[in-house]
Amino acid sequence: MAPQLFGFIAGNLNIIMFDLDAPDGGIDPQPRIDTQDVLTCITESQRPIVTYVRSVEDIMLPPDALLAVANPKDCLEHFPSTVPFENHYRALSKRDLVVSGLPTPGSIVIETRLNPMQVRDPQMRVEEVTRMLEVIKCRSTPFVVKLPQACPGQGVFLVRNEEERSTALSVLETGIDTMLQQLSPSNEHLHPSNFIVQEMLSGSAVAIALFLSKEGEVLITSVCDQFVDAQGNWGGGHIDYAGQESRIEEYRAIAKIIGDYMHTLAYYGPLGADIMMDAKGNHVVIDLNARVTGSHALGFLRGHFNRERRVGGVQRKVCGGVGGGEDGRCGLVSWEREGSECGDGHFGGGGSGQVDGFGGESKAASDGEVLIAETVFGC
């Protein structure tokens, strides 16, 4: 769903999407059809121009074009980009956030002591994994464990009791061994083999959406509350348009500090930050997302919802089981079936299990079929 969502809010830009393989080894045409269904809902002046490629080798950039990516990938590093890939990696690194000088909850970094040659030795890796996990075995609950690169709650472990400690250790024992094997002379300087153990704060995190100019100027585009489940998985965001001015002012100081740090990395563009309050009442940075975030679009929809339609707030949720819907009307910017993607639409006010396409076509959620929807609710 993410490529559809990013495309939906990209504006009139050139975007590149990868084709998906069909079972017979050819190209599956359905994702192209679904994406086209989504993007044709947008007025032409704001509609992105899509190029489909089968592999990285098929990407051809126009002269002087720069690639903007949500997450830096090794296979794309040879392309000219808006932000140097190593800088972008550091901007997304949980380790780099802890050592950045930005205010964060109390944290310790558990770093490997092995070098790229030593990680080839299986016995040395076993001993190193045991050493690194010792702090998780011994630390009093509650606390949070974060892998160096994680997004939407993945790679983040909330350890509040012995059962959650056992689960985290079970996953990390294998995960850290895999992480150690990926250490190489070419990436050692980026400190990719570590994890963070962090103080768990009470309360909920606020998501601030920022845009950082190339000159380092910081613009707060929205401040949103978040839907996070008991396991720490992100499930959506909510914006109160009436309270935006006061909330933006409240978070302006921490946004400026974040912007100054990101500017040292030559980062510019969309940026999200999760902020909480510590025991002393100070703002601390829980996470930095140097990319378009899930609630990024909500601030820009203020004119559409609040000024034109007098809607006081909007939620963006990731929903399972669209069949049955919710009261009122809902706009879908993308959805997917289990195992494949669908298009776009809206639901509400219709029959149970019915999804009405923006173009007038209706699509039913059949019995036993799960639809995962990216939705925007007026509330």
CATH of the domain at 274: 3.30.470.20
Looking up tokens 């051809």, which residue turns up? 60
Q: Which pLDDT value is given to residue 333?
A: 52
Residue 87, domain member (yes or no): no
Structural domain includes residue 215: yes
Q: What is the per-residue pLDDT for 312?
A: 57
Give the model's pLDDT for residue 344.
37
* Interatomic CA distance for residues 350 and 338, integer angstroms: 23
Q: Residue written as tokens 């995962």?
A: 372
pLDDT of residue 309: 59
CA distance 215 to 20: 38
Q: How far, in Å, are 58, 80, 165, 344 from residue 52 at the CA level?
A: 9, 19, 44, 19
pLDDT value of position 157: 94
Is residue 88 a part of any domain in this protein? no
- Give the per-residue pLDDT at 228: 75
Q: Residue 101 domain-assigned?
A: no
Which range marks the domain in which residue 53 is found? 2-82
Query: Does residue 282 share a domain with residue 220?
Result: yes
Q: The domain spanning residue 140 has which CATH number?
A: 3.30.1490.20
Check: pTM over 0.75? Answer yes or no.
yes
The reported pLDDT for the residue numbered 308 is: 61
In a domain, 128, yes or no: yes
Instruction: Say whether both 230 and 152 belong to one domain.
Output: no
Cβ neighbours around 314 below 10 Å, total: 25
Distances (CA, A) of 229 to 40, 168, 257, 284: 33, 17, 29, 21
pLDDT at position 110: 98
Residues 216 and 282 in one domain: yes
pLDDT tens, residue order, the chain (379 aa): 677 777 877 888 899 999 888 888 889 888 888 888 888 888 899 899 999 999 999 999 999 999 998 888 889 999 999 999 999 999 999 999 999 999 999 999 999 999 999 999 999 999 999 999 999 999 999 999 999 987 665 789 999 999 999 999 999 999 999 999 999 999 999 999 999 999 999 988 999 999 999 999 999 999 998 877 776 677 777 888 888 999 999 999 999 999 999 999 999 999 999 999 999 999 999 999 998 887 888 888 777 666 665 555 555 555 544 443 444 444 555 444 444 443 333 333 333 333 333 333 334 433 333 334 444 444 4
Give a yes or no: residue 95 inside a domain.
no
Q: What whole-number distance in Å separates Cα of residue 128 and Cα of residue 376?
A: 46
What is the per-residue pLDDT for 137? 98
Task: Determine, yes or no, domain membership for 296.
Answer: no
